[in-house]
Structure 1
Amino acid sequence: MSVAVRVPTILRTYTKGESDVSVDVDEGATLGDVVKALDAAYPGIGARILDDTGEIRRFVNVYVNDDDVRFDSGLQTPTPSGAKISIIPAVAGGC
């Protein structure tokens, strides 16, 4: 099955500039499976999403079909066929 991943501008260097990519995962896959498949297809992107302990980085928000996974099951959140995943890193700055 295939899921769509929306890639933020800051991570598009890993996807050759693509803002939307699809990854293939097995039926019944979780968000963790999707991140592994994403990193296999686009090496290095996984390290920008997950920290050294394998958890979602503190300042990265991930949504599966508009639901914040921090309030669901984190990396164990189910990703049904056709799911839309958005990766949104926090942005700081200004004056």
Structure 2
Amino acid sequence: MATVRIPTPLRKYTEGKDEVAVSGQNIRELLDNLDGTYAGIGERIRDDKGAVRRFVNIFVADEDIRFLDGLETPVKDADEISIIPAIAGGLR
């Protein structure tokens, strides 16, 4: 299983865990399994069409999936997956 790093705002869905082990052949399957285990987290990561929300970044071993194969990016058991919400704001 891959290790998924959970950002602080989403830890309420993972019982406070900052890392969870999740299986999946690719990012799509991994996110499906993550939501299957931790109900409600999936809708915070993907929109109603299944695409990763534009303010959420997902990295596989420090590589942004947007520059790989997106949701079809392969996942190996030893991979570390990071879910990172984008930060916006500042002075106007």
Same fold at TM > 0.5:
yes
Shift of 1:94: 4.1
Counterpart of 1:15 in structure 2 is 14
- The correspondence for 1:89, drawn from 55, 76, 85, is 85
The equivalences for 1:51-70 within 5 A come to 51-70=47-66
What's the RMSD between the two structures over aligned residues?
1.0
**Once the two structures are aligned, what percentage of the paired residues are identical?**
49
Checking the alignment, whether the CA contact within 8 Å between 2:23 and 2:77 is kept in structure 1 is no
Instruction: Please tell me the residue identity of whatever aligns with 2:2.
Output: V
Give the alignment's TM-score, normalised by structure 2.
0.93
Give the alignment's TM-score, normalised by structure 1.
0.90
Structure 1 unaligned segments of length 5 or more: list them: none
In the alignment of these two chains, the number of paired residues is 91
